[in-house]
Structure 1
Amino acid sequence: MSDARRCRSASGGMSAGEPQQGSGWPPGQVKWVCEEQVQQVLTWDRLLPAITRALESFSRGPDHPQGAVQPLRSRINVPQRQEIMLTMPGMVRGHSLAVKVLTHYPSNSARGITTRSSTILLLHVDTGLPAAVLQGSTITEMRTAAASAVATLRVLKGKDIPKKGHDKLVVAVLGAGAQARSHARVMAHVLNVDKVMVWARRTEAAEALCQVLRSESIPAAAATSVQQAVAAADIINCCTGTSTPLLKACWVKPWAHINSIGAPFPYKQELEKDLVRSAIIYTDSYEAAVKESGDIIAAGAEVYAEIGEVLLGSKPVIADKITIFKALGLAVEDAVSAQLVYDALSAEDKE
């Protein structure tokens, strides 16, 4: 039985959303899409153009015919148990409409089940009717890394730093979790990488990630310190769960580019204040950056541009400084990704 068939067999009460053979998924019926199905169709080559579209649409604004509508994420806390639920709705006009629900329940570890959950409800953008419910972990992991890759390529082009087909680049990855793995993979996909240096608080975790990457023909080595990991790095990917700064300005090359996806709350930081103040800062959302990014808030730093503005050509890349892409994550990235998966699976069912 294929992965897709196993997902369908396990969908239980979602059976009304099953497509008729050869006819796609009927309007008004809701499809359950599991992680295996997402992984079956979501590739970097498909995803990168979709994320580029999402970033551009967001920066065009809600009133543009090709723009996007997205409020800040809302959050529910249960302080006594440290439980969190986030909701992230977003729409790219004429293309995709979705809401993602994220939960973090640390107490689940005692039950032997995952502490984090991500679920996306995709709706038909023209009718508002539900189209599919998708497990969202793979989408979240890959769309976040894809946004970093899109930003990296555009900033490197403005800096005239070599890209694929030219001199090789050194990539650093701080962290050893899902986002670290995904960032290493996408950087190796879009860049000509000499090596990937991986640092994590637990050396064995860094070594384990390196083994996975090397099995995929990605040259990777574990570093014993943050300084060692970033010393020669042209691109640094900060993918940690830290609440206190890990990366110092004095360790970073003066022309390096940093993708910072950790510390997405006002009370968290992963970058030293002097580093943030001395860099040119790009972000996915001005509003989210100044209200949610602890790195930017603590440093009192100014955001130069949304990366969507740079992609659209309304803001140039400033080439003579360290650059930081501070990503808070956009719901419209989830929306275009979920729509991509839905369309790809629909096309397969019609064959």
Structure 2
Amino acid sequence: MLVWGRNAQRVQALADTLEHQGLKAKPAADLTDALSVADIVSCATTSREPLIVGQHLRPGTHLDLVGAFTPEMRDTDDDAVCRSRRVRRYYAGAPKKAGDLLQPIAGGRWDASMICGDLHELTNGLKSGRLSQQEITLFKSVGAAIEDLAAAYLLT
């Protein structure tokens, strides 16, 4: 597992924590290099500028986007979204909150009707996930307060 972030000390601390928990983790010095070998890319940022550039994603990559939860924020550029098969946690949040999706819509490069399903449909077999091994897939979550509350309750 590669860990990348803007702050090298925090990246090292996270990699050390993951190693301590039994996961093979090491810091990635360069995000572009890390993207070129990644099977799964998970982002949880509050960035207003795209960090994940679509042209750097290799075929078969899965993007897990749980940050960028306002229209002004984004983890990915338009190309990453346009190259991906997209699944949402739920339909209602996508058109209102997700900057990763709203900004390509505003630029005329993408349309919300291209969402291929939500998490419920995917996990219950009502909709298909990946259609080929070469397909880039994207899961976009803008969060749900009830899930955050449940997680906090379980941790206390």
Cα gap change, 1:338 to 1:247, in 2 (>3 Å): closer
2:144 — aligned with what?
330
Matched, 1:242 2:47: yes
- Please give the alpha-carbon distance, in whole angstroms, between the structure 1 residues aligned to 2:86 and 2:103: 14
Out of 86, 101, 106, which is 1:296 matched to? Answer: 101
| Gap regions ≥5 residues in structure 2 | none
- Please give the alpha-carbon distance, in whole angstroms, between the structure 2 residues aligned to 1:268 and 1:323: 20
Matched, 1:221 2:35: no
AA aligned opposite 2:139? F
Matched, 1:231 2:32: no
Residues 105-141 of structure 1, C-alpha deviation per residue, up to 9 Å, x if partnerless?
xxxxxxxxxxxxxxxxxxxxxxxxxxxxxxxxxxxxx
Q: Does structure 2 retain, via aligned residues, the 8 Å contact 1:285–1:328?
A: no
Q: Does structure 1 retain, via aligned residues, the 8 Å contact 2:46–2:74?
A: no
| Pairing of 1:198-209 with structure 2 (within 5 A) | 198-209=3-14
AA aligned opposite 1:214? E
1:10 — aligned with what?
none
Runs ≥4 residues deviating over 6 A: none
TM-score by length of 1: 0.39
Higher relative contact order (CA 8 A, sep 6+): 2
1:303 Cα offset (Å): 1.6
Cα gap change, 1:335 to 1:313, in 2 (>3 Å): farther
1:210 — aligned with what?
15
Q: Does structure 1 retain, via aligned residues, the 8 Å contact 2:46–2:69?
A: no
1:335 Cα offset (Å): 5.7
1:305 — aligned with what?
117
1:296 Cα offset (Å): 0.3
Q: CA RMSD in A?
A: 2.0
1:250 Cα offset (Å): 1.8
AA aligned opposite 2:20? S
Cα gap change, 1:270 to 1:285, in 2 (>3 Å): same
| Percentage identity across paired residues of the two chains | 27
Cα gap change, 1:335 to 1:214, in 2 (>3 Å): closer
| Gap regions ≥5 residues in structure 1 | 1-195, 346-351
* CA radius of gyration, larger in: 1
1:231 Cα offset (Å): 1.8
Q: Does structure 1 retain, via aligned residues, the 8 Å contact 2:55–2:79?
A: no
Count of paired positions: 147
1:279 Cα offset (Å): 0.6
| Pairing of 1:84-163 with structure 2 (within 5 A) | none
Out of 256, 263, 266, which is 2:68 matched to? Answer: 263
AA aligned opposite 2:38? A
1:281 — aligned with what?
86
